[in-house]
A = this chain, B = another copy of it.
Amino acid sequence: MTKPTNFDLRDFMPYLLNQAADATSREFEPTYKAKYRMLRTEWRVLFHLGHYGRMTAKEICDRAQIHKTKVSRAVSALEQKRFLRRKEQPEDRRHETLSLTASGQSVFATLVEDAQRFDAALMTEFTEQEANQMRAFLIRIAKL
């Protein structure tokens, strides 16, 4: 009855994805952590605002698939660092629009460069075509 299971963790996609994600994140984390004392979620929120301009916390939750409490905490932290500002919407006072301050934007600009440099370095071992396939694949898996 006992099957001769030859199951290798390296055949299990979630495991591989986690290992790869961890490896790259561990390497990149110091960039924003050391420079700006930011947490991963803060980094993500900053990037969403930097890229999309302005959005509500809810929109960030939906787009980035982060739980609202995590976003809430990240927003507070970024606010305390004076990287973003909230603005209550008069037509619906439950919403608040978030946007980067000038200093938030300059931090964003710096971190974008770091990210691009990091990504370029990471992908040197792969051809442009491989990189594109990868991205497409991951986007499908993550349902982005």
Question: Which residues of chain A have a CB within 8 Å of any CB of chain B?
Answer: 2-3, 5, 7-25, 28, 44, 47-48, 50-51, 65, 109, 112, 115-116, 118-119, 122-123, 125-126, 130-131, 133-135, 137-144
CA distance A126 to B116 in the complex (A): 29
CA distance A9 to B63 in the complex (A): 11
Q: Which of B8, B47, B134, B142 contacts A19 (CB 8 A)?
A: B142
B51, A9: Cβ atoms closer than 8 Å: yes
Closest CB-CB distance, A130 to chain B, in whole Å? 7
Apart from A13-B122, A13-B135, A19-B65: 6 A-B pairs, beta carbons within 8 A? A12-B115, A12-B119, A13-B134, A20-B21, A20-B141, A134-B137
A7, B116: Cβ atoms closer than 8 Å: yes
Pick from A5, A17, A22 the residue with the most CB of B within 10 Å.
A17
Closest CB-CB distance, A84 to chain B, in whole Å? 17
- Chain B, residue nearest A7 (CB): B112
- Chain B, residue nearest A118 (CB): B14
Closest CB-CB distance, A65 to chain B, in whole Å? 7
Given the interface pairs A14-B28, A119-B12, A122-B13, the reply to whether A138 lies near B7 with Cβ below 8 Å is: no
Q: Which of B44, B119, B143 contacts A13 (CB 8 A)?
A: B119
- Chain B, residue nearest A19 (CB): B142
Residues of B contacting A11 in the complex (Cβ-Cβ under 8 angstroms)? 119, 135
